[in-house]
Amino acid sequence: MDMWLSESQIKDAAMTYKVKETLVRRKTPFQDLAIVDTEAFGRMLLLDGIVQTTINDEYVYHEMITHIPLLTHPNPKKVLVVGGGDGGTIREILKHPSIEKAVLCEIDEIVIEECKKYLPEISCALTDPKCEIFIGDGIKYVHEHKNEFDVVIIDSTDPFGAAEGLFGGSFYKEIYECLTDDGIFVAQTETPFYLPEVVKKVYDDAKAVFPITKLFMAGIPTYPSGYWSFTLGSKKYDPEKANVIDKYDLDTKYYTKRLHSASFVLPKFIEDLTK
């Protein structure tokens, strides 16, 4: 008998995956966690039935949310990741030679525990000595750390439940204060195809706080609509003007130095959201 997993993307559309095996399913204090093995995308982490990451396409998200801000900053030493318990963003951060410390602030320690067990390709850098793991709410952590990080990355679940407060103006003000004088912030900010109002609100909220605010895009097959936005706020450096060509090379599958500035070129319906 074939087993199929269906993730609804909007009320009237869903994405369906053929499942080989369910590796783990457990209720955590924060969410319903599952890791399943699928025919098309390999092992997949789901939280509350929503796909978070898969072995076959995780590189797009993790490379883009990391290398765009880290190569825009001339010398990033200390980076904070809020969420990101699968470890993919930490793995990409630690590819940068200037990094001295990467802090992961994840609210749900069971996500880390199960990803270490079942998704070692993604979570492999969580045991690196440069990675410091803090279990707790990112909102509180950011509030309690001022002028400390060169880059803050919000690698969160969608804007509901524990992650709701990670989207919006008051949190972006706190991030501004958590960053050093030339710091950069980036967040995953949903799909403009299905959720234009969310993308616009996040962009407008970030723009009210950061002197330089830009939206960039990436193609991620397992995220709703396959077309995902990231919002970047910067105190000093413009990601489109960063001289990435002269920088060190990275081992990547999606990010390239030419793609760096190209990812900020937006289709009209998305560009309109930034006006």
**Under the rule (CB under 6 A), what is the footprint of ligand SAM?**
30, 47, 52-53, 61, 82-86, 105-108, 111, 137-139, 155-157, 162-163, 166, 188
Nearer to ligand SAM, 26 or 258 (CB): 26
Distances (CA, A) of 133 to 1, 23, 32, 128: 41, 25, 22, 10
- Can you spell out the DSSP letters for 72-132? HSSS--EEEEEE-TT-HHHHHHTTSTT-SEEEEEES-HHHHHHHHHH-HHHHGGGGSTTEE
Q: Which residues are marked as active site?
A: 155
137 in a known ligand binding site: yes
Nearest approach in angstroms of CB 198 to ligand SAM is 13
Distance, in Å, from the CA atom of 224 to the CA atom of 227, rounded to the nearest integer, reads 7
72 in a known ligand binding site: no
238 in a known ligand binding site: no
Nearer to ligand SAM, 81 or 212 (CB): 81
Ranked by CB distance to ligand SAM, the top (closest) residue is: 83
Q: 179, 171, 193: which is closest to 234 by C-alpha?
A: 179
Nearer to ligand SAM, 61 or 193 (CB): 61
157 in a known ligand binding site: yes
- Binding-site residues sit at 31, 62, 86, 106, 137-138, 155-158
Residue ranges at the known binding site for S-methyl-5'-thioadenosine: 31, 106, 137-138
Which residues define the annotated binding site for spermidine?
Answer: 62, 86, 155-158
